[in-house]
Structure 1
């Protein structure tokens, strides 16, 4: 399991006074400020977060040390991380996306289907993007109890019961 978890990404400047558009990956978007300071992936920069207001597709925020539009624009696309121990523990049936990435996926008969490339949420529930050597392209598997009855982080595997014809 990863020692750091990605909790957001900067979409660029929002306004001319150093505000940024921040896309939060936390279940309650505003909670991202509670986990500050947030770090860049390489750990070179660290930011405290001041929430200003919700905006379309994210939050308008001030990041410590960012005072101009140019500084904010230079951060476009930067992903922000926090140490895992700063995040709350999850119930048994919830998972951090970072813990699912790269896990092998097996069918109920024990045949490996592939591994998790990404986790997507397009508004109707999470989808696991599965990639594998036997697949022509990636497959989107609904991340529901019916399609994914078992996620075993200790054993490092997912057991799936995909809908007929998906694989």
Structure 2
């Protein structure tokens, strides 16, 4: 499971700012926790694990120190690396309305009782998470496309992992193009127009 991305060296002693992909940073980034790195094959860190030494908040930003990363140069080598952990598939999120990404990916997306697509991934953005939905091609919408659905209760009121579906109540225009104004409509008479 993806838990974070290393975004910027911080200071001179090897600290790195993190972009978090977890709701439990204090539980994931404990001293001794080891991560698998997603880095280019050309990186000196390719194929090596990364173990956390210290995690703290600095000016409301999550910052971590890692074993073997003792200066800014070493930290710079890790920028843009994605941190992965082996997930306990038996574990369940602490919150009732929280799911792991792997539980959501593959779920059928249903609107008004009709399947309209499938969740293909979850993007974790600063403001909110997004469900990336690949639509089912049909006559009215054409080819399949990817739609970014804000993962909020108002738009995704129901997640049924066991039933294999999520129910959506999207605003007009999220899954389809809005109809253009009808050009054949009667013109509105201006005040004082005697026609």
Q: Same fold (TM over 0.5)?
A: yes
- Structure 1 gaps, min length 5: none
How many residues are paired up? 161
Aligned residue in 1 for 2:14: 18
Higher helix share: 1
Aligned residue in 2 for 1:77: 80
Higher strand share: 1
TM-score (norm 1): 0.75
- RMSD (CA atoms): 3.0
What does the per-residue CA deviation read over 1:62-120, in whole Å, with 9 as the maximum and x for residues that have no partner? 11121122221111111112232296633332112343234332223232334343334
In 2: Cα distance, 1:54 partner to 1:140 partner: 32
What does the per-residue CA deviation read over 1:28-59, in whole Å, with 9 as the maximum and x for residues that have no partner? 54443238513124663131230244246x32
Bigger relative contact order (CA 8 A; separation at least 6): 1
Higher Rg of the two aligned structures: 2
- Structure 2 gaps, min length 5: 39-46, 138-142, 176-195
1:34 aligns with 2:30: yes
TM-score (norm 2): 0.66
